[in-house]
């Protein structure tokens, strides 16, 4: 069990989200940076989809009420266990009474805390993710506040030995913000010159970016004619072009369907990098073929598998 | 030139969209719904989720286990089947009680040249088909609206539309399951719950269901 001593403005329980409810309009949800949460879980001996805490927008602290193992992944902040610095991507042991403080986030936007066993909140529709928009899942469907406490699920997995660090080659850097994308289903509604401009342009992540979608400022990208399409399914990573020409990249809590043309879709493996872009960061898109995208997807899965093997005694 | 329908296109690296046509119609919707049902029953292990829409059916999969071309090859025989008579299929009839006191009722009446009473009459006197769920959990796009009630969306969307609002826009009508922003015309309210995460089938409505609104006293 941990107690939230001081909560940052944004703190909620997330796992890897829902599967099988899109036809009811429920998006996948779950961690914005799935790779980081998965890595944290592996470090503490959990399955990648165990629930952890998604932390953003500021500093705060938690207190361990029992002995545990934990890891901090994703966004980089100055963290300390009592007064000893805590490194990102490393396995730690904590004793009852230890206080973990997380400072201002220095690089990235979402930091993850993984605990051995995973956070024990009731499963809703098979997941422990928080869907803040409708107020269900996670911890009573809401953000965590100071004074809240959560338990862990029992676990006898050992995970990585305290001190184990994720090797550099298995870490995802957040410095490179060129996002690989495949052609979107409505790419043909855009002139070749416009598509080219989309790929050459630099976009700025706008302030109006959240778990539903990231809005991008940059050159207006317009289809040949403003086409209202019959609404059709979308997915995280889909780059929608609304009438004003400012792209919106759908994220984990984004709508399951949309009527705006999708010029491109960011590949799954690069969604964590986008998720970690704070407002004001610049991004670019680079087109890759579908087969390459799926190869990269498999490579990322292999990286998690490799980490799992490295952490097992 | 004829295009072989449905035709398949990738939606990112983990989904495939089958397009069955370009014009919205109840017939096309029914064909897609039946294809989705067949696919659900086939229970392909690689398929994680599927969403029938107006003119498309999207299948979500894990590229760890199968690639686009192979999946498309497996889907084609399942999707390409004759449409059963509607009577044989498994839609449900759902009635939703509505208090027709929405803030836009008078405006809708004025724009459509009808009295508010006639707007209510026309909205509540037909069965609507569920074409699609999405936007937010449980939101169903219902059609087709009485042609006299077809209006463009409001010029300025509301920042918050209260949950339970019954609304119209274009040839569609629907109920907002949550407090969300929205640009549709609000003509009434209901207490019917459209999405309940505690249920194993959380959405009240499924594509193909028939919905009727019953006017009740405010």
Q: Provide the ipTM.
A: 0.95
- Residues in chain B closer than 8 A to A298 (CB atoms): 63-64
Identity of the residue in B50, B60, B135 whose CB atom sits nearest the CB atom of A255: B135
The reply to whether A100 falls in a domain is yes
The reply to whether A172 falls in a domain is no
Identity of the residue in A124, A256, A293 whose CB atom sits nearest the CB atom of B13: A293
- Let me know whether A158 and A51 are in one domain: yes
- Residues in chain A closer than 8 A to B134 (CB atoms): 25, 231, 233, 255-258
Query: Is residue B218 scored above 90 in pLDDT?
Result: no
CA distance A28 to chain B (A): 10
pLDDT of residue B87: 59
Tell me which of A166, A186, A219 is where a domain ends. A166
Q: Which residue of A has its CA nearest to B194?
A: A24
Place of tokens 């989809």: A49
> Do A178 and A167 touch, CB atoms closer than 8 A?
no
The reply to whether A24 falls in a domain is yes
| Nearest in space to B212 (alpha carbons), one of B96, B120, B115, B99 | B96
| Nearest in space to B156 (alpha carbons), one of B189, B187, B119, B181 | B181
pLDDT of residue A3: 98
For chain A of 313 residues, list the mean pLDDT of each consecutive stretch of 10.
98 97 97 98 97 97 97 97 97 98 96 98 98 97 98 92 96 93 95 96 96 96 81 96 93 94 97 98 98 97 97 83
Q: Please compute the mean of the pLDDT values over residues B130-136 and round it to a whole number.
A: 95
- Let me know whether A80 and A127 are in one domain: yes
Query: Is residue B20 scored above 50 in pLDDT?
Result: yes
Query: Is residue B99 scored above 70 in pLDDT?
Result: yes
A44-64 burial, b if ≥16 CB within 10 A, otherwise e? bbbebbbbbbbbbebbbbbbb
- Let me know whether A156 and A248 are in one domain: no
Catalogue all structural domains in chain B, each as residue range(s) with its CATH number: 7-88 (3.30.1360.40), 93-216 (2.40.100.10)
pLDDT of residue A156: 87
- Let me know whether A137 and A6 are in one domain: yes
Q: Which residue of B has its CA nearest to A292?
A: B13
| Nearest in space to A196 (alpha carbons), one of A269, A111, A92, A285 | A285
Query: Is residue B85 scored above 80 in pLDDT?
Result: no
Whole-number average pLDDT of chain B: 93
The reply to whether A254 falls in a domain is yes
- Let me know whether A7 and A154 are in one domain: yes
- Let me know whether A121 and A195 are in one domain: no
Query: Is residue B89 scored above 80 in pLDDT?
Result: no
CA atoms within 13 A on the CB side of B41: 7
> Do A87 and A160 touch, CB atoms closer than 8 A?
no
Tell me which of A107, A135, A166 is where a domain ends. A166
Six token digits for residue A93: 């042991």
CA distance A227 to chain B (A): 13
- Residues in chain B closer than 8 A to A301 (CB atoms): 64
- Let me know whether A46 and A70 are in one domain: yes
pLDDT category, B84, cuts 50, 70, 90?
confident
> Do A222 and A245 touch, CB atoms closer than 8 A?
yes
Burial class (CB in 10 A: 0-12, 13-18, 19+), B136: buried
The reply to whether A312 falls in a domain is no
Could you tell me the CA-to-CA distances from A177 to A205, A293, A299, A310, B183 in Å, in that order? 11, 17, 19, 28, 34
The reply to whether A251 falls in a domain is yes
- CATH number for the domain harbouring residue A212: 2.40.100.10
Query: Is residue B1 scored above 50 in pLDDT?
Result: no
> For chain A, what is the domain count?
2
Q: Is B196 helix (H, G, I), strand (E, B) or coil?
A: coil
- Residues in chain A closer than 8 A to B49 (CB atoms): 19-23
- Let me know whether A55 and A144 are in one domain: yes
- Let me know whether A153 and A74 are in one domain: yes
pLDDT 10s digits, A214-227 = 999 999 999 987 66
A:B CB pairs within 8 Å: 145
- Let me know whether A6 and A142 are in one domain: yes
Identity of the residue in A24, A25, A232 whose CB atom sits nearest the CB atom of B58: A232
pLDDT of residue B91: 82
The reply to whether A270 falls in a domain is yes
CA distance A236 to A248: 11
Structural domain boundaries enclosing A158: 2-166
CA distance A217 to A246: 6
pLDDT of residue B3: 54
- Let me know whether A149 and A243 are in one domain: no
CA distance A1 to chain B (A): 25
- Let me know whether A57 and A159 are in one domain: yes
pLDDT of residue A25: 97
pLDDT 10s digits, B153-186 = 888 889 999 999 999 999 999 999 999 999 999 9
Tell me which of A137, A166, A195 is where a domain ends. A166
> Do A32 and A275 touch, CB atoms closer than 8 A?
yes
Query: Is residue B65 scored above 50 in pLDDT?
Result: yes
Identity of the residue in B50, B63, B135 whose CB atom sits nearest the CB atom of A257: B135
The reply to whether A309 falls in a domain is no
Query: Is residue B2 scored above 70 in pLDDT?
Result: no
Give me the percent of chain A exceeding a pLDDT of 70. 99
CA distance A180 to chain B (A): 11
Place of tokens 């505690």: B198
């Amino acid at each position: 069990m941990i107690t939230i001593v001081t909560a940052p403005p944004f703190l909620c329980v997330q796992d890897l989200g829902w599967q099988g409810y899109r036809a009811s309009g429920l998006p996948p949800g779950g961690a914005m940076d799935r790779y980081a949460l998965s890595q944290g879980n592996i470090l503490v001996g959990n399955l990648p989809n165990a629930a952890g805490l998604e932390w953003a927008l500021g500093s705060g602290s938690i207190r361990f009420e029992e002995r545990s193992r934990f890891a901090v992944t994703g966004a980089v902040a100055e963290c300390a266990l009592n007064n000893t610095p805590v490194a990102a991507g490393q396995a730690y042991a904590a004793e009852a009474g230890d206080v973990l403080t997380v400072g201002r986030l220095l690089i990235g936007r979402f930091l993850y805390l993984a605990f051995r066993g995973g956070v024990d909140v009731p499963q809703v529709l098979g997941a422990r993710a928080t869907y803040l928009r409708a107020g269900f899942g996670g911890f009573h469907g809401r953000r965590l506040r100071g004074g809240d406490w959560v338990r862990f699920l029992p676990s006898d997995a050992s995970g990585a030995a305290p001190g184990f660090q994720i090797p550099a080659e298995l870490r995802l850097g957040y410095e490179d913000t060129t996002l690989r994308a495949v052609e979107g289903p409505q790419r043909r509604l855009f002139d070749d010159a416009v598509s080219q401009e989309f790929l050459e342009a630099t976009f700025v992540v706008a302030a109006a970016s959240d778990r539903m979608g990231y809005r991008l400022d940059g050159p207006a990208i317009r289809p040949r004619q403003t086409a209202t399409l019959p609404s059709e399914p979308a997915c995280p990573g889909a780059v929608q072009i609304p009438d004003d020409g400012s792209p919106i990249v759908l994220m984990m809590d984004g709508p399951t369907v949309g009527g705006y043309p999708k010029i491109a879709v960011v590949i799954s493996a690069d969604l964590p990098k986008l998720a970690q872009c704070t407002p004001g960061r610049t991004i670019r898109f680079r087109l890759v073929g579908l087969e390459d995208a799926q190869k990269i997807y498999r490579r990322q899965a292999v990286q998690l598998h490799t980490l799992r093997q490295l952490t097992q005694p | 030139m004829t295009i072989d329908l449905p035709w398949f296109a990738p939606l990112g690296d983990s989904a495939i969209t089958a397009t069955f046509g370009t014009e919205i119609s109840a017939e096309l919707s029914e064909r897609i719904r039946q294809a989705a049902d067949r696919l659900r029953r086939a229970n392909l292990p690689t398929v994680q989720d599927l969403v029938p829409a107006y003119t498309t059916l999207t299948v979500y999969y894990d590229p760890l286990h199968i690639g686009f071309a192979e999946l498309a090859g497996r889907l084609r025989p399942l999707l390409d089947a004759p449409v059963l008579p509607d009577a044989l299929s498994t839609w449900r009839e759902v009635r939703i009680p509505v208090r027709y006191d929405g803030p836009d009722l008078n405006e809708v009446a004025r724009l459509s040249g009808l009295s508010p009473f006639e707007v209510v009459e026309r909205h509540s006197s037909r069965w609507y088909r569920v074409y699609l769920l999405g936007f937010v959990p449980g939101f169903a796009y219902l059609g087709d609206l009485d042609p006299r009630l077809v209006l463009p969306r409001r010029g300025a969307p509301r920042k918050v539309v209260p949950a339970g609002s019954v609304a119209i826009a274009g040839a569609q009508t629907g109920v907002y399951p949550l407090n969300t922003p929205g640009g549709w015309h609000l003509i009434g309210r209901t207490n019917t719950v459209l999405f309940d995460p505690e249920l194993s089938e959380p959405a009240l409505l499924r594509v193909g269901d028939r919905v009727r609104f019953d006017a009740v006293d405010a």
